Amino acid sequence: FASFHLSECNELIDGHDVIVSLYNLGECDVAVDLAEKFKDFKVLVNVCLELDGAERRSRLDSYKQRFVAEEFDMYLCRYLKQKKLNQMLLEEKGERVDRYLLSCEGTRWRRELQNHQFEQVSRSLLSLATRETSDIYRQRSFVAFSKLAAICSENVPDDVILESNRRLLLLKHQSLIPESLVKSVYPDDSKRPLSISEMVELNMLDADVVEGHKRALYLLADLLGNGDSVELRSLVFDVWKSVVQHSDLRQVSHTSELAETPFAGVLRKVVEHDNAAGVLELVLAPRGVILEEYRKKLPLGELTLNCIRDAAQRALSKLKTNLQSKKDEELRRTNAVLATTEFPEVFRDRPITLMDSSEMTVA
């Protein structure tokens, strides 16, 4: 009766209720025979998945050979992917499976890793990092492993290394932003990766004006150190404009009056920073042409502008001095020669005499 019913079925047989019911009632052999006869691949795959490893492998391989024309192997791959059985999916071998896995972005890199295709792994992981827009930690893992795979490549892909370094830099700077600040602005998705402009704007909202603007400038300094751009320069201007607005410099007429303002505090942070003095020079308080833009956009008098200019110039001089000191120190270390202790002449070239056992005494 079941066979007749199935033969009259005009639809694709895929997990048919009659076959499934027979299997669940304990008529396993009957159900499998019907599934094989009517090519109910869903039932056959599920039966195989209940078997132990070696037996499952043998049964699946036999179905692959038996149903080559019906592409049982591709059905199996799609089913395993749908059920998120990725480890089993990666156990499947063959060129057709490899081509199928190329379309499975989340799993592709693992097959490439199995095949020792490290450059492809690095690019696949970098692509996954781009698509990861909800979890900063997951994105950081993708980028870090992408860089590692690139380093393992026979021909290291420089573009992947550069892009990985850039993204890791951004993720590092995002991790420096207080979590409470991020949650106050992005309460529903505080873990998502932020863009450069979002990080700058977020830092400028910090109640600790000096620390927030300092973080924004350090971020922009690191990015400018890897390549100049109009967008980054515009953000630098925005940060210093915000610092000036927080400082209320309209009444400042002497440089000494700047000392207790956020403007002076940010300047000190930049100058006193231990690392990367060379790149921090790129985001120092604006001078020259940019300073003229302040005259247009902010209601500051000439005396105030002169105070800003003088303070920025002294900060620049201090930065250059610090940078030169570091270069000089590195040069001294490079040229340092470790002195070798000279042995007295009496110890030189003397043969070592072994004691005869008869000369040894016990105290």
Q: What is the pLDDT of residues 250-280, one digit of tens each?
A: 666 666 777 778 888 888 888 877 655 567 7
In the chain, the amino acid numbered 167 is R
Token pair listed for 313: 């110039």
- pLDDT tens-digit readout, 272-327: 776 555 677 778 765 554 456 556 656 666 667 777 777 777 777 777 777 777 77
Q: Which residues contact 161 (CB under 8 A, 6 or more apart)?
A: 147, 150, 151
Examine the pLDDT at 132 and tell me if it is beyond 90: yes
Q: Which residues contact 144 (CB under 8 A, 6 or more apart)?
A: 164, 168
How would residue 339 be classed by pLDDT, with cut points 50, 70 and 90? very low
**Terminal Cα-to-Cα distance of the chain (whole angstroms):** 104
Q: Is this structure's pTM higher than 0.75?
A: no
Judged by DSSP in three states, 260 sits in coil
Residue 28 burial (CB count, 10 A): 13
How would residue 245 be classed by pLDDT, with cut points 50, 70 and 90? confident
